[in-house]
Structure 1
């Protein structure tokens, strides 16, 4: 309602008004089947007909989606945008970064509530520093592009994010929040704060003005899809690691076969697994501790993988995002040979940003 009355309409007069219903349908079906199949693999296994059928069906639907987008007069995802190395690179960066974020933040509450003993309120509040940092530093991080260009913050930010994930892998069971998960949350929030605004600016600046909104929508969709797929895939990784760690612990403690079988139905619950009441109290307490320790092992593996994805996103930025100096040199060369007006336009915008940064430095010194 507020948007309807107070936000003015803006649309390209030359834009195609047709909706890409076929593309929307195929994208929804493809992603839905793929994610459903991966999630059900936790219960039935990767080779179950239901899992294989859903995954293959999802892949086929997504291939059909690409084919439809290539021929559609008004595609919801114009494929020509991906011809830009900068646009493709920043979206790959987004995929890696948000896959790591989605997976870690999905499993963290399980860790805090089921293993560390936090209340739901305390577990939710544990991420409050992350939110506050993103809120307070967003304007400052947007200015980083003007001062340093997009490349530096898009390399440094994900590296800091990766260090935050490594810190999540350090704590065991117990300990004060301020010395266990608080440092990890702060480092993660700082890294994401440095990254998000420059990333959005770079994605929208990588395409022509008429496609800026589409580029932003695609980038947001990539972030959401990355988190969705990461939860499904990381679920398989964490469950496999959890089962392996729990098996090793049960073997070293000579747990009876009957007791192990009672635990089998609880394994898919991970940290929420409960030892049956039929087991004697001392054994039940020991097994519950084994379950918690096994989940910590799985959570650490997920944190290490997330760190690797964050570092991979930094590499994407280093390879695909130009610095001010490279953009200036490129503009000079192309002015001399008269090549590619679109590239000149982008390079010229980078020169203006560099000039603004120089003028800002000069004014501060004076």
Structure 2
């Protein structure tokens, strides 16, 4: 069953990394600006943020298998339509359809996986379902570079079609049909009206940080503050409504879920911020192409693969706390060389650092996700899956925004824009990335120490 779910996740994970490296190509193809093309990514993220809150309800109401098939079908439809786009406006609209499918897939996969393992051997389960998330950053940029260099931009989306078709066939034939006894739950419309716009506004506002060169602009502050206000109202409302709310806020009383949610938010600062910095360094300072930049980033994914199984096994044996603490320290160690970047720093040295950094990230993410489900009942699992996914998305948007503005400010302070001077700007940005990673040591110390 887990392999069926993993195949289904490959398409959205590859799509995200491929589309990110295709920004310049899309700018040229549609004869538009980077700020306009950025909406190709933003519309996807906004749609994704909009549907995540309903995932828990949808799985309980319609069942995991039907919702998994529906999500794959929506992603397939969106991919076909994107490949047929005739202008940038149509592409942006069709990406929202993709985002609806993509936003549902990850929390549904986590819910089905946790239920299949019945809350036991969570480290092993997360190591299995996390494999596509590792393959995406390794193979996605390389595949994207090959497509951009040799094929039409439409293949950025056409490549998803065979993956989705195979995943749908496998799921139709291989996923078990669930019992229908509990599916009388009504959709919490007031909660949906509060929570979905809150997430969309926060992600949208954070996405405007780089184009407005800071947080102190109305285009950033108005949506973010409005989103936070709606979120605060939702928290009060959901706490009163209890388990019938769109998201069961009372689950944050469970320490493992609360701490895991904080760590997932902080991981956005660490992971997404560095995902912005690393390819930019290779392209802007070292003058490498998109394809070569993707190849140079592969050691980080390899490092994540190296620790994936061990981290899962150790989490089941000794608990998540020591594993996450060790992984965070490894991440800090692997990131430190990037605070000493120059215009001619050895690629062998950076490759070795990326392996260490990837090994640390691989040892952090899986135990944190496994800890989020400790002590939860089968009915609470869908709520936990939606909650952890929301924290990842908001943390990722926040991390990318913060690092983008830090890098921009460092650019502005550079007197000479030769590669050596620009490299110093990246040094300072990576120092901030290390600081954010170090913050994770505090909540990591509160995770369960031994298996319960």
TM-score normalised to structure 1 length = 0.69
The residue number in structure 2 matching 1:50 is 219
Whole-Å separation in 1 of the counterparts to 2:220 and 2:369:
36
Give the conservation status (yes or no) of the 8 Å contact 2:203–2:394: no
Task: Report SS of the residue matched to 1:200.
Answer: helix
Give the conservation status (yes or no) of the 8 Å contact 1:137–1:193: yes
Cα distance change on mapping 1:13 and 1:35 into 2, 3 Å = same
The residue number in structure 1 matching 2:314 is 144
**Within 5 Å, which residues of 2 pair with 1:1-366?**
1=168, 2-10=170-178, 13-14=181-182, 17-44=185-212, 46-72=215-241, 74-179=244-349, 181-243=350-412, 245-246=413-414, 249=415, 287-289=416-418, 292-318=419-445, 320-324=446-450, 350=452
Give the conservation status (yes or no) of the 8 Å contact 1:69–1:79: yes
Cα distance change on mapping 1:297 and 1:24 into 2, 3 Å = farther
Cα distance change on mapping 1:11 and 1:216 into 2, 3 Å = farther
Count of aligned pairs between the two proteins: 282
Task: Report SS of the residue matched to 1:18.
Answer: coil
CA RMSD of aligned residues (A): 2.5
Give the conservation status (yes or no) of the 8 Å contact 1:154–1:317: yes
Shift in Å at residue 309 of structure 1? Answer: 2.2
Give the conservation status (yes or no) of the 8 Å contact 2:303–2:354: no
Whole-Å separation in 2 of the counterparts to 1:153 and 1:240:
35
Cα distance change on mapping 1:12 and 1:207 into 2, 3 Å = farther
Give the conservation status (yes or no) of the 8 Å contact 1:204–1:213: no
Cα distance change on mapping 1:307 and 1:6 into 2, 3 Å = same
Give the conservation status (yes or no) of the 8 Å contact 1:103–1:302: no
TM-score normalised to structure 2 length = 0.57
Give the conservation status (yes or no) of the 8 Å contact 2:207–2:397: no
The residue number in structure 1 matching 2:157 is none
Shift in Å at residue 315 of structure 1? Answer: 2.1
Give the conservation status (yes or no) of the 8 Å contact 2:268–2:397: no
Q: Unaligned regions of 5+ residues in structure 1, if any? A: 250-286, 325-348, 351-366
Shift in Å at residue 12 of structure 1? Answer: 8.1
Cα distance change on mapping 1:196 and 1:47 into 2, 3 Å = closer
Q: Unaligned regions of 5+ residues in structure 2, if any? A: 1-167
Give the conservation status (yes or no) of the 8 Å contact 1:167–1:183: no
Cα distance change on mapping 1:34 and 1:123 into 2, 3 Å = same
Deviations 1:172-217 (A, max 9, x none): 11233112x2122111111122222222221111423432343233
Shift in Å at residue 237 of structure 1? Answer: 2.0
Give the conservation status (yes or no) of the 8 Å contact 1:16–1:74: no
Cα distance change on mapping 1:112 and 1:209 into 2, 3 Å = same
Whole-Å separation in 1 of the counterparts to 2:300 and 2:179:
35
Task: Report SS of the residue matched to 2:201.
Answer: helix
The residue number in structure 2 matching 1:356 is none
Deviations 1:111-143 (A, max 9, x none): 111111122111111221222333343222211
Whole-Å separation in 2 of the counterparts to 1:83 and 1:11:
29
Task: Report SS of the residue matched to 2:245.
Answer: coil
Task: Report SS of the residue matched to 1:235.
Answer: helix
Whole-Å separation in 2 of the counterparts to 1:70 and 1:144:
35
Cα distance change on mapping 1:74 and 1:175 into 2, 3 Å = same
Cα distance change on mapping 1:12 and 1:130 into 2, 3 Å = farther
Shift in Å at residue 106 of structure 1? Answer: 1.4
Give the conservation status (yes or no) of the 8 Å contact 2:311–2:362: yes
Give the conservation status (yes or no) of the 8 Å contact 2:303–2:356: no
Whole-Å separation in 2 of the counterparts to 1:35 and 1:197:
24
The residue number in structure 2 matching 1:342 is none
Whole-Å separation in 2 of the counterparts to 1:191 and 1:12:
42
